[in-house]
């Protein structure tokens, strides 16, 4: 198990299954893996890494096709394939008794990992994509089709204004958005191959969710679900259904917060994470049916 990375803290690259993967590493102590959401990257955790690194050795990868980890448009970026890559990353770094914090689409990847790896000690999932949320499913079906894919390929380079509005909608109150947020996410989205990566993700979405539905009952790690009450991307109502499908779970809803609680309310989120991973087995129970 990682104990003290010392001078190894910083930004690194690893080759995982033939894909170059960028990741950040910081802190010392037991390992903590951060998994970003759809078309995000380690940039998403800019308000969390340093705080969490005071207690843990933090690993924050950019999954292939996202963040700074560029990949060809034909690369398989499905939830299942990314879970495979992270399992390889975990094994390569000998990460045992591992805690995971993940967001949205990355939360679904984390659940897939926890269903297959016994060394995962706990999960903190911020609005994880799950089979019981219908938000956005119609758009995903459209953009995964031939016409929708053409719209993505042709329109993405000219969609900066639409993307800006989309990021603002991720917040319960856009006033809480820090300077540089829009620019940071735009820099990740408008990179080579991103249109193809996004299309690949959406074409695998429905199959991934069915696979996830079957995997969730196998997750035994104590889990904290964190949702913003104003989340418009993943239905807050799905939290209780998901929680009842997990062996051990607790749900925290943050009033007035949107889809990115780790950005919009980082102090509260960081405290929830650190408190939970200290004693995960004593802070949650099976939810009532």
Q: What is the pLDDT of residues 257-266, one digit of tens each?
A: 999 999 999 9
Q: Residues 30-63: pLDDT tens digits?
A: 999 999 999 899 999 999 999 999 999 999 999 9
- Strands 57-61 and 120-126 come out as unpaired
Q: How far apart are CA 59 and CA 102, in angstroms?
A: 12
Residue 159: predicted pLDDT: 86
Residue 285: predicted pLDDT: 59
| Sign of torsion over alpha carbons 99, 105, 108, 109 | negative
pLDDT level of residue 226 (50, 70, 90 thresholds): very high
Q: How far apart are CA 43 and CA 36, in angstroms?
A: 9
Residue 5: predicted pLDDT: 44
Check pLDDT > 50 for residue 255: yes
Report CA dihedral (102, 107, 113, 117) to the nearest 10 degrees: 60
- Which residues have CB under 8 Å from 75's CB, separation 6+? 19, 64, 65, 193, 196, 197, 200
Residue 282: predicted pLDDT: 67
Residue 73: predicted pLDDT: 86
Edge to edge, what strands does the sheet with 223-228 contain?
Answer: 10-16, 19-27, 57-61, 31-35, 98-103, 120-126, 223-228, 249-254
Mean pLDDT, residues 268-275? 97
pLDDT level of residue 9 (50, 70, 90 thresholds): confident
Helix (H) or strand (E) holding 102: strand 98-103
Residue 161: predicted pLDDT: 86
- Which residues have CB under 8 Å from 180's CB, separation 6+? none
Q: How far apart are CA 165 and CA 258, in angstroms?
A: 14
Q: Is the pTM of this model over 0.75?
A: yes
| CB-based contact 73:199 (threshold 8 Å) | yes
Letter string b/e over residues 166-190, b meaning 16 or more CB atoms within 10 A of that residue's CB:
ebeebbbeeebbeeebbebbeebbe
| CB-based contact 109:82 (threshold 8 Å) | yes
pLDDT level of residue 156 (50, 70, 90 thresholds): confident
Q: How far apart are CA 127 and CA 171, in angstroms?
A: 13
Residue 283: predicted pLDDT: 63
Residue 284: predicted pLDDT: 60
Q: Which stretch of 3-7, 17-21, 216-220 has the lowest confidence by average pLDDT?
A: 3-7
Helix (H) or strand (E) holding 135: none
Provide the mean pLDDT of the chain.
93
Q: What percent of the chain has pLDDT over 90?
A: 84
Q: Residues 64-115: pLDDT tens digits?
A: 999 999 999 889 999 999 999 999 999 999 999 999 999 999 999 999 999 9
Which pair of structure tokens corresponds to residue 124?
A: 């903190």
Mean pLDDT, residues 154-177? 91
Residue 162: predicted pLDDT: 87
Mean pLDDT, residues 220-236? 97
pLDDT level of residue 29 (50, 70, 90 thresholds): very high
**At residue 248, what are phi and psi to the nearest 5 degrees?**
-150, 120
Q: How far apart are CA 46 and CA 156, in angstroms?
A: 25
Which pair of structure tokens corresponds to residue 79?
A: 């939830």
Secondary structure (H, E, C), 19-51? EEEEEEEEECCCEEEEECCCCCCHHHHCCCHHH
Q: Is 10 left (phi over 0), alpha (psi -120 to 50) or beta?
A: left
């Amino acid at each position: 198990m990682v104990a003290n990375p010392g001078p190894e803290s910083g930004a690194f690259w690893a080759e995982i299954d033939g894909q170059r993967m960028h990741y950040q590493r910081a802190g010392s102590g037991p390992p903590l893996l951060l998994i970003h959401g759809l078309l995000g990257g380690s940039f998403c955790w800019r308000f969390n890494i340093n705080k969490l690194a005071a207690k843990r050795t933090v690993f924050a990868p950019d999954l292939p096709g996202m963040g700074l980890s560029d990949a060809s448009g034909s690369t398989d970026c499905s939830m299942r394939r990314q879970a495979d890559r992270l399992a390889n990353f975990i094994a390569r770094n000998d990460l045992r008794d591992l805690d995971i914090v993940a967001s949205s689409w990355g939360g679904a990847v984390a659940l897939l990992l926890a269903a297959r790896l016994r060394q995962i000690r706990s999960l903190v999932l911020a609005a994880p994509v799950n089979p019981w949320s219908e938000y956005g499913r119609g758009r995903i079906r459209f953009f995964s089709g031939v016409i929708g894919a053409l719209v993505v390929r042709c329109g993405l380079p000219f969609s900066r204004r639409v993307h800006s509005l989309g990021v603002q909608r991720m917040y319960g109150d856009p006033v809480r958005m820090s300077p540089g947020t829009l620019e940071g996410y735009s820099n990740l989205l408008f990179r080579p191959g991103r249109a193809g990566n996004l299309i690949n993700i959406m074409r695998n979405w429905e199959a991934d969710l069915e696979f996830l539905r079957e995997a969730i009952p196998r997750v035994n790690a104590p889990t904290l679900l964190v949702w913003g009450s104003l989340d418009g991307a993943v239905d807050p109502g799905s939290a209780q259904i998901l929680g009842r499908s997990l062996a051990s779970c607790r749900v925290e809803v943050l009033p007035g917060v949107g889809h990115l609680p780790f950005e919009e309310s980082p102090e509260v989120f960081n405290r929830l994470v650190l408190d939970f991973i200290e004693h995960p087995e004593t802070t949650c129970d099976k939810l009532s049916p």
